[in-house]
Copies of this chain bind each other. A is one copy, B any other.
Amino acid sequence: MRKIGILTGGADCPGLNSVIRSVVRKAMQEGFVVTGIKNGWNGLIETDMRVLDLRVTSGILDRGGTILGTSRMVPPLELEKMKIIAENFKRSGADALIAVGGEDTLKIGLDLYKQYGIPVVGVPKSIDNALSGTDYAFGFDTAVNVATECIDRLHTTVESHHHIIVVEVMGRYTGWIALEAGIAGGANIILVPEYPIDIDEVCNILNARHKRGKTFSIIVVSEGAKVKGHSLGHSGPERRTLRRLTNVSELIANLIKKRTQYETRVSVLGYIQRGGTPSAYDRIIGTRFGVRAVELVKENLFGNMVSLHNNKVRYVSIEEAVKKRKAIDKELYDMAKVFSG
């Protein structure tokens, strides 16, 4: 009987368990045995694995996280590690490896495929929607919904107190979560890594709102956004007073407070954006990706990852898929400014 290994790598993401369950179901119907590799690539280094069957994967569709555990590894891996992984994989007797993860996990998978001939199929996750090569990778829809729900909660508070709140959401390199949760949450200002922040412009908008009687404002900012003329390394002109700031949201709140005297508050949403039960859409995409990944294995289409195009699940070469990040849609970003006033 043929055997498939599966691992989940990188930061956890709602929908990982949907993929695992779906791979097991489909694989068993196709006559494969499935081995779960624990904690990402680490499980192949430490040969930590266990068989996955219907019982183990029952009831996990609506659970966040990953029952396999995960770990973070940044490519390229050291030669020594690569060799161990390749060797242990071969020893495991598996005929294919399904690697579920983001850019880093997929790149390591690609290296293993190209340099060691490991028969890898990728399944893309991306909580911040940063992956190109697919219209969508699961996790993002849940993150946007959680962030939006939080902004809704903050809305009533800042409105009651006439405050300005700076809400920091995930997004180190791309501003998708800030943009979508900002629009959905009714943010007045949305700040993203793709466009450096001009604090004077931000203050102008806030002042204009106050002039027309709007005594509260909501600013949504990606964790990776940069403020022009300031760095969180804290060597800028306002270095002394700001040296204890570690988040861009705190930096922005302080700068606004200084320039406008308005009361500002900060809320860093952090890990709650990636945990918990996946949205319906992320469960569906995870499920569809898992089924298709097994089909790719069956058809020996290695070196590829499953992908979504026009709402159809297809596949692309991993190499193509990880070439560049998907920046936010400029058209959507500009539209959001309609609600700045």
Contact = CB atoms under 8 A, between A and B. Distances in A.
Nearest to A61: B186
B271 A265 contact: yes
A154 B275 CA distance: 5
A244 B59 CA distance: 36
Nearest to A270: B267
Interface string A138-173: 000100111111101111110111100100000000
Interface string A43-70: 0000000000000000101111110011
A161 B288 contact: no
Contact of A157 (B29, B161, B275, B332): B275
A223 interface: no
Interface in A251-292: 265-272, 274-277, 279-281, 283-284, 287-288, 291
A183 to B, nearest CB: 5
A128 interface: no
A65 B157 contact: yes
Interface residues of A, number: 78
B12 A154 contact: no
B180 A284 contact: yes
A105 interface: no
A55 B5 CA distance: 25
Given A65-B160, A288-B332, A311-B329, A184 B283 contact: yes
Interface stretch (A89-97, A114-122, A317-325, A333-341): A333-341
A126 interface: no
A107 interface: no
Contacts of A200: none
A297 to B, nearest CB: 15
Given A12-B160, A276-B152, A271 B62 contact: no
Contacts of A146: 153
16 contacts: A12-B161, A25-B339, A29-B338, A63-B156, A64-B153, A69-B160, A145-B279, A150-B272, A152-B277, A153-B271, A156-B275, A157-B274, A180-B284, A184-B281, A281-B281, A287-B335
Interface of A: 8, 11-12, 16, 22, 25-26, 29, 39, 59, 61-66, 69-71, 135, 141, 144-150, 152-157, 159-162, 165, 180-181, 183-186, 243-244, 246, 265-272, 274-277, 279-281, 283-284, 287-288, 291, 310-312, 329, 331-332, 335, 338-339, 341
